[in-house]
Amino acid sequence: MPPSCPYQYSIQDLRQRNYIWAGVINIILLAEYHILAMADEACSSEKAHWTTDETSHLISYLFNNREKVGETGNFKDHVYNAAAEAIAEHWQKGARKTGAMCKTKWASVSCNLYSDHISGPDTKRSHSLNIPSM
């Protein structure tokens, strides 16, 4: 004799559970769809294209405002936002620079400036920056 199931469900109970699980799965799929749609919008925004002139003016602005470096050794967001406004007149192509873009650019450029200071300029680089005084 086969063992009996300790739980006895009616067909209505099973259908109701199936409807509940179908609803839960639909909610999860819709949430994932919206997350992917938002991520796609964020990725499709215009990319920053930095010219040598813009980069030089960014470095110059941050150098002239070096007293605003925070305790962590980095600038606060309002300094990057002000830098974006200061270099706006030098914009040529790509997206208009924002404070977040300036922060990202500074992170990459400052590493290069530091390594140049320690080991000398990298002769493999094809461009040099003319740092204007502001």
- The predicted-structure confidence for 21-34, as pLDDT tens digits, reads as follows 999 999 999 999 88
C-alpha distances (whole Å) from 80 to each of 8, 52, 71 are 66, 18, 16
Contact 130, 56 (CB under 8 A): yes
Q: Which residue segment(s) compose the domain that 108 sits in? A: 52-119
Same structural domain for residues 2 and 56?
Answer: no
123 versus 99: the higher-pLDDT residue is 99
55-59, 78-82, 119-123: least confident range: 119-123
Same structural domain for residues 111 and 69?
Answer: yes
Q: Is residue 69 part of a domain?
A: yes
Same structural domain for residues 23 and 61?
Answer: no
Q: How many domains does the chain have?
A: 2
* The pLDDT value given to residue 98: 92
